Every structure is written in structure tokens, then in C-alpha cells.
Amino acid sequence: MEKIVRQSLLYDFYGELLTEHQKSIYEDIVMNDLSYSEIARLNGISRQGVYDMIKRCDKILEGYESKLKLVEKFVNARNKIADIQESIEVLKTKNQDEQLGSMIIDIEEKTSKILEDF
């Protein structure tokens, strides 16, 4: 997994356990794609300070993940849903019955929403 994707997932799951200050800086780097220099200037700290804080946040978030493994479980569940969606696609092409067809589409739509809260 690309580093920024992992950071984003870790933040989605455990970000609320960081302090407001940590969250703000982590979001600026990971979600808002600002540069270290920009964030240093905006927060009145050194570039090295920003670097250290991101590294510290990564460590905190990875620490929670190593204990709770919720990103891993979520990614597994998401892959299983993608696999089911492929099976539903095949089912749709094989099916000839109109009534069944709309039931299958209903199941497909519901399946795409299973993890929407996460």
C-alpha cells in the first residue's frame, strides 16, 4: 500500500486519538497535500519540527493499528465486498429474468453501501 494511502486509512480509523494540534498538521500533510515548508510557515515552527511531528503521529497511529488491526480488518472486508461485486456482475449477465434482475440490482446497491459509515 502506498504510504499516503496507509496514512490516510490510519488517520480515518485512529485520528481522533491524536491531539487537535497533531490532527491539524497531520491533515495538512496527508489530506490537504501541503508541503512541509508551507506547514512550518503557517504554524510558526521549523520544517524539522513538522517532520518530527508527522513521524511521531505515524508512530502513534501505527501503534494503535499494531494492537487493534482495524485498518487491516477493514481492508480485508473491502476486498471481500469487491469480490462479491464481481460475482454479482457475472450473475447479472447470466440472468434473463426481469424480476430477478431488479432484485439483483437491489442487492448490488446494498452491497456497495455496507462499509459507507467507515
Q: Which residues bind its own copies (CB under 8 A)?
A: 13-14, 16-17, 64, 67-68, 70, 72-73, 76-77, 80-81, 83-84, 87-88, 90-91, 94-95, 97, 99-100, 103-104, 106-107, 110-111, 113-115, 117-118
Of 42 and 100, nearer to its own copies (C-beta) is 100
CA 97 to mean position of chain CA atoms: 38
Q: Shortest approach of its own copies to residue 80 CB, angstroms?
A: 5
Residue 59 Cβ vs its own copies, minimum distance, rounded to whole Å: 16
Amino acid identity at 111: T
Q: Identify which of residues 3 and 90 has a Cβ nearer to its own copies in the complex.
A: 90
DSSP secondary structure string for all residues of 48-109: HHHHHHHHHHHHHHHHHHHHH-HHHHHHHHHHHHHHHHHHHHHHHHH---HHHHHHHHHHHH
- Residue 5 CB, shortest distance to its own copies, in Å, is 19
Measured from the CB atom, the residue of 44 and 99 that comes closer to its own copies is 99
**How far is 15 from 57, CA to CA, in rounded Å?**
9
Residue 94 and residue 73: Cα distance in Å, rounded? 32
